[in-house]
Amino acid sequence: MAVIETGAALHEAHRDNHTHRDVNGGWLRPAVFGAMDGLVSNLALMTGVAGGSVGHQTIVITGLAGLAAGAFSMAAGEYTSVASQAELVQAELDVERRELRRHPQAEQDELAALYASRGVEPGLAREVARQLSKDPEQALEIHAREELGVDPDDLPSPLTAAVSSFGSFALGALLPVLPYLLGATALWPAVLLALAGLFGCGAVVARVTARSWWFSGLRQLALGGAAAGITFALGTLFDTAVS
C-alpha cells in the first residue's frame, strides 16, 4: 500500500510541477531570427547610408525599402526552407510506410531490437514491439520518431514560418525608421531606439530560453551596435573616396 501511495504521489508531483514548453513549433525560430535580423540589418543599412552624408529623406527611403525587401525575402526563404524540409520528411515517411506494408515482421523485429538495445529484456521487447505494431499508423509514428527523430503529427508549418518571419522582420526593421517617420531629422534617435529594441528583444528571448535576461540583452545590443558602427564607418569611407 505504501508503494502505491508513493507512486501516486510522484505521479501527482510530476503532473503539477514537471511541464515542458513546446519546442517543436515552427514559429519561434523564424520569429526570433526575423526580429533580430530586421533590427540589425535595417539599422546597419541606414547607418551605412547616413555615413555617406545624404539627406534624411534618402535615409527614410532606404529604411523603408530595406524593410520591404527584407521582410519578403525572409518570408519566402522560410517558406521554401520549411516546405522543403516537410517534403523530405514526407518522402521518408512514405518509404517507411512501404516497408511496414511489405515487410511487417522485419520492421517489428527492428523495433524489438531497438528496445532491447536500450535495456529492455529481449522477450519483453519483442512483446512490446508486437503490440505496438498492431496498428499500422501507430507503428509508422513510432518508427518515424525512433529512426527519423520526427513526429509525423507535429511537423512545422511553412505558412506559419513565413508569416512569423515576415511580421517579426517588418516589426524589427520598423524601429530604426520610426523616429524619421515621426519627424526626426537626425540619425541618433533612430540608433538609440534600435539599440533599445535590440536589448529588449534579447531580454524577451531570454524568458523563452531560460538564459539570463541581461546577458542576452547585452549580447544583442553589442552585436547590433557593432554592425551599425562598422557600416557607418564604411559609409563614411566610401563617401570620402567618391568625393
- What DSSP assignment string belongs to 30-77? HHHHHHHHHHHHHHHHHHHHHTTT--HHHHHHHHHHHHHHHHHHHHHH
pTM for this predicted structure: 0.75
Residue 10 inside a domain? The answer is: no
Residue 218 inside a domain? The answer is: yes
Residue 9 has pLDDT above 90, yes or no: no
Residue 29 inside a domain? The answer is: no
> Which residues, 6+ apart, have CB-to-CB distance to 109 below 8 Å?
126, 129
- Range of 177's domain? 36-238
Residue 207 inside a domain? The answer is: yes
Distance, CA of 36 to CA of 62 (rounded, Å) = 18
Residue 122 has pLDDT above 60, yes or no: yes
Please check whether residue 180 is in contact with residue 63, taking contact to mean a CB–CB distance below 8 angstroms. Answer: yes
Distance of CA 194 to the CA centre of its chain: 21
Stretch 110-133: mean pLDDT = 91
Domain count, the chain: 1
Kindly report the average pLDDT of the chain as a whole number. Answer: 85
Please check whether residue 63 is in contact with residue 173, taking contact to mean a CB–CB distance below 8 angstroms. Answer: yes
pLDDT digits (tens, 9 = 90+) for 173-184: 999 999 999 999
| DSSP output for 167-217 | HHHHHHHHHHHHHHHTT--SSHHHHHHHHHHHHHHHHHHHHHHT--HHHHH
Distance, CA of 165 to CA of 32 (rounded, Å) = 8
